[in-house]
């Protein structure tokens, strides 16, 4: 696997606020080749229970899933391919949580990194993608936060009457992470 600082640098280099869904130089043929290679390798490893689907209106290109019943890890497995940089990430159970990253075994991560390298992709650990996003591109989280702030300024509270802040005064779910930039709807 690439050093984490190098991965973080790549995330920053591929960030372009003028191209939220796909990079300017997006090559559909390369995306299809990567999708086919990942689908094939995941299918060989996990068998016919592997499912693959393409995204639309998203910075993610595709999602692969393996249910927990028999072939996948506890809680199931998901792998996503971004339209940007050939970035690939993976987790178990719920989407984009620290627990999702912890559910992956080291042997699987090593295998997936090798598969990614062969497919011309870069495996990005979910832990890195859960770091706060500080790039120039507006994400859906940013748009939601702006809406909440606007409604609050107009005197409208949330349905539960809370202000959306956690005990540290932070916005909690209203703070974008790198996964929001490269693996979410736009």
Using one digit for the tens of pLDDT, what is the confidence trace for 123-142?
Answer: 999 999 999 999 999 888 76
pLDDT at residue 20 greater than cutoff 50 = yes
pTM of this prediction? Answer: 0.84
Are 59 and 184 a contacting pair, CB within 8 Å? yes
Average pLDDT across the chain, whole number: 85
Helix (H), strand (E) at residue 51: strand 51-54
């Amino acid at each position: 696997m690439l050093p984490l600082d190098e991965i973080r640098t790549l995330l920053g280099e591929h960030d372009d606020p003028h191209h939220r869904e796909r990079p300017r130089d997006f090559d559909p043929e390369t995306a299809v080749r990567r999708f086919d290679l990942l689908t094939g390798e995941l299918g060989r490893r996990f068998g016919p229970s592997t499912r693959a689907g393409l995204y639309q209106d998203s910075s993610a290109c595709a999602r692969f899933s393996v249910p927990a019943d028999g072939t996948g890890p506890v809680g199931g497995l998901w792998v996503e391919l971004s339209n940007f940089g050939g970035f690939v990430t993976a987790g178990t159970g719920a989407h984009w949580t620290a627990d999702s990253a912890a559910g992956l075994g080291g042997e699987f991560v090593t295998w997936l990194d090798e598969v990614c390298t062969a497919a011309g992709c870069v495996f990005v650990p979910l832990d890195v993608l859960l770091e706060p996003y500080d790039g120039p591109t507006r994400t859906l989280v940013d748009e939601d936060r702006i809406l909440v702030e606007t409604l609050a300024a107009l005197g409208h509270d949330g349905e539960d009457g809370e202000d959306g802040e956690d005990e540290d005064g932070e916005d909690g779910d209203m703070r974008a992470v790198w996964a929001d930039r490269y693996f979410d709807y736009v």
